[in-house]
Amino acid sequence: MPMHDRQIPAEARCGDCEGVGWKWWTAAADSGEESRWIVCRECLGTGRRDKKGRKRVKPEDPEG
């Protein structure tokens, strides 16, 4: 695991993305767009409540 993507302590994790820094966005069925990972707007991709640190590494696409 890269140094900038270390485990974030539970009390410092963003409540919106649970410390991942990214959220899975699901497109509307009739829009024709693909679902994808988007940066968490609450923590600005850092995964931390205080927004300090570097942006987290994007997770792998979920199966299915």
The three-class DSSP label of residue 53 is: coil
- Which residue did the predictor score with more confidence, 63 or 26? 26
Question: Is residue 62 in some structural domain?
Answer: no
- Report pLDDT for 64: 57
Determine, yes or no, domain membership for 32. Answer: yes
Q: Is residue 2 part of a domain?
A: no
Domain that holds residue 31: 8-57
- The answer to pTM > 0.95 is no
**Domain count for the chain:** 1
For residues 56 and 47, is the Cβ–Cβ distance under 8 A?
Answer: yes
pLDDT one-digit tens code per residue, 9-43:
999 999 999 999 999 999 887 888 888 999 999 99
Token readout for 45 is 């991709």
